[in-house]
């Protein structure tokens, strides 16, 4: 069921929030639909409290938030807005300090430009939030949504009013009419604000929807064209906000898989449709989103999974139709029936289907069940390595030591994307052999290295966070580990991956290490 999506938050300020947000929306769904079991609620509360307390570590002295708190040059406007949005959703389930929200709202208001818009402030790791060269409208809409959802204050009210007027001008001028992502966010923001231009935005959004059988979706490029890719243009460097804070440097936005673009855009559109009261089209959009889940129940990347989960949660809580359906699966002489009712509608049911034939599906009853067919297969190691977006090599200076001896672990990471793009934040997860522990002093010696923002030790793993990597760029990391007891340690796997697009990754298998006794 949905409780399987509950996960322990960890990592830097951005990663912690990305893991924290699904916990909040899953808990909201289960509570509001009367399906929250006491043991699940206890687990959800514990995870939410942990995520909330961890995020406060990355609250800066000026009340903003950033990936690494006060060690960053400035707060991140996007992350601070994300904190506002998610913390406001968690209120009522766990304690959230109103002072944290009000001071963050005040900081956000100081970043607003005179015309009501927002430019990126701080280093924006999640580059796709900027919406490419039209990032001002999408970022302004996102920040406005956070302000609208997070509560009221004089400073927030003034900032909201200015931002709404800017977004209204984007609709009336037609500036975002052909930008589905910006238009979806803007429509949702105007619906939340009860703007008189919300209907005009809704009409514009409906005009650019793509209809496919009983579903609708929104995307910048046709999802049926595998060769199409978003246009790559530099993001212009805007001037400073009213507070004169630093802004993000010009970088190329990453090339995102087409389905990832479509999922995130359609999720925002679904939220807008629900606020507008268009339940018929909301059901079609929800059906399309539900059909795009992967085998694990998520989507293509961290961010589109979070937004889609929010949208599907809102849809489920506002549209709990009477469900009683029987799905009959058959192929050859094999036959299986699956019953879906209101009591188990949120539970994913799996069936192993014999391969080699034609699968027939018959549905009878009431409701809107969704069927997903997943095919799993193995890929040869050489082929998988050739397709990796990162090359990572982990070597030891020796593979035979005695207890209390140390080995040097050298890791080299190179970003090798299939096409020109920035990696965004990179996570390098170095596994330490069994029977060894990393030497903290050698890890601390890496502080201040270019690109390295932070490291965490989690059991026998050392997790490094790198600020960003360009195509072909190489980063080396070296530290020591001490042998604790005699052991013949088997090879362990280390990996490097893009924090926001974990499908961009690479792996390396270490060597066996023998520790003798003295």
User: Which pLDDT does position 245 carry in this prediction?
Assistant: 34
Instruction: Specify the 3-state DSSP secondary structure of 238.
Output: coil
Q: Is 148 helix (H, G, I), strand (E, B) or coil?
A: helix
Fold of 2-318: Glycosyltransferase (1.50.10)
More confident residue, 8 or 203: 203
Higher pLDDT pick, 118 / 18:
118
Check residue 381 and give its pLDDT: 55
Mean pLDDT, range 86-92, rounded to an integer:
91
Q: What would the mean pLDDT of 259-286 be, rounded to a whole number?
A: 92
Q: Does residue 329 surpass a pLDDT of 90?
A: yes
Q: Stretch 393-401: mean pLDDT, rounded? A: 95
Residue ranges of alpha helices (H) inside 117-237 are 135-149, 154-172, 180-192, 198-207
Q: DSSP letter at 253?
A: P
pLDDT confidence of residue 240: 32
Whole-prediction pTM: 0.70
What value does the mean pLDDT take over residues 275-289? 93
Annotate 444-481 with b (16+ C-beta within 10 A) or e (fewer). eeeeeeeebbbbeeeebebbbbbbbbebebebebebbb
Check pLDDT > 80 for residue 23: yes
Q: Does the structure show a pLDDT above 70 at 384? A: no
Between 16 and 1, residue with greater pLDDT: 16
Equal CATH topology for 2-318 and 381-516: no
Write out pLDDT tens, residues 200-255: 999 999 999 999 888 999 987 544 333 333 332 323 223 333 333 333 332 233 33
Predicted local distance difference test score (pLDDT) of residue 225:
32
Q: What is the pLDDT of residues 113-144, one digit of tens each?
A: 999 999 989 876 655 444 333 578 989 999 99
Inform me whether the pLDDT recorded for 269 exceeds 80: yes
The domain segmentation of the chain, as residue ranges, is 2-318, 324-366, 381-516
Residue 239 Rama label (left phi>0; alpha psi -120 to 50; beta): beta
CATH of domain 324-366: 2.20.210
pLDDT at 181 over 80: yes
Choosing among 2.60.120.380, 3.30.450.270, 2.60.40.690, 3.40.50.1220, the CATH entry for 381-516 is: 2.60.40.690
User: Which residue would you say has higher pLDDT here, 229 or 194?
Assistant: 194
């Amino acid at each position: 069921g949905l409780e399987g999506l509950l996960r322990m938050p960890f990592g830097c300020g951005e990663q912690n929030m990305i893991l924290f947000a699904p916990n909040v929306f899953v808990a909201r769904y289960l509570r509001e639909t009367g399906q929250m079991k006491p043991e699940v609620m206890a687990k959800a509360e514990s995870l939410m409290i942990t995520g909330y307390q961890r995020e406060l570590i990355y609250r800066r002295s000026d009340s903003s938030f950033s990936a690494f708190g006060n060690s960053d040059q400035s707060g991140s406007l996007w992350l601070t807005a994300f904190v506002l949005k998610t913390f406001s959703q968690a209120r009522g389930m766990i304690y959230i300090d109103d002072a944290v929200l009000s001071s963050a709202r005040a900081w956000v208001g100081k970043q607003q430009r005179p015309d009501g818009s927002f430019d990126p402030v701080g280093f924006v790791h999640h580059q796709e939030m900027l919406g490419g060269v039209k990032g001002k409208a999408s970022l302004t809409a996102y920040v406005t949504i956070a302000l609208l959802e997070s509560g009221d204050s004089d400073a927030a009210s003034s900032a909201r009013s200015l931002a709404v007027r800017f977004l209204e001008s984007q609709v009336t001028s037609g500036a975002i009419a052909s930008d589905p992502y910006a238009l979806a966010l803007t429509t949702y923001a105007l619906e939340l604000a009860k703007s008189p231009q919300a209907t005009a935005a809704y009409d514009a959004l409906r005009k650019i929807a793509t209809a496919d059988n009983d579903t609708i979706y929104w995307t910048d490029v046709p999802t049926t064209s595998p060769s199409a890719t978003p246009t790559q243009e530099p993001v212009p460097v805007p001037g400073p906000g009213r507070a004169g804070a630093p802004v993000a440097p010009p970088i190329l936005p990453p090339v995102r898989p087409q389905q990832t673009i479509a999922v995130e855009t359609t999720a925002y559109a679904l939220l807008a449709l629900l606020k507008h009261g268009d339940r018929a089209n909301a059901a079609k959009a929800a059906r399309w989103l539900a059909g795009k889940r992967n085998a694990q129940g998520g989507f293509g990347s961290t961010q589109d999974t979070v937004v889609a989960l929010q949208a599907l949660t809102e849809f489920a809580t506002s549209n709990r139709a009477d469900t009683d359906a029987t799905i009959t699966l058959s192929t050859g002489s094999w036959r299986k029936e699956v019953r879906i009712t209101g009591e188990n509608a949120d539970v994913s049911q799996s069936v192993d289907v014999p391969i080699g034939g034609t699968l027939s599906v018959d549905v009878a009853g009431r409701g809107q069940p969704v069927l997903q067919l997943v095919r799993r297969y193995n890929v040869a190691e050489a082929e998988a390595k050739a397709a990796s977006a990162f090359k990572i090599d982990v070597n030891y200076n020796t593979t035979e030591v005695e207890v209390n001896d140390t080995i040097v672990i050298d890791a080299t990471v190179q970003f090798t994307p299939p096409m020109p793009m920035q990696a965004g934040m990179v996570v390098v997860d170095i596994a330490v052999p069994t029977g060894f522990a990393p030497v903290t002093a050698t890890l601390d010696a890496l502080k201040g290295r270019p690109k390295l923002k932070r490291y965490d030790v989690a059991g026998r793993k050392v997790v490094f966070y790198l600020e960003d990597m360009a195509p072909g760029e190489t980063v080396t990391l070296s530290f020591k580990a001490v042998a604790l007891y005699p052991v013949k340690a088997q090879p362990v796997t280390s990996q490097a991956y893009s924090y926001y697009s974990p499908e961009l990754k690479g792996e390396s298998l270490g060597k066996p290490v023998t520790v003798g006794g003295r």
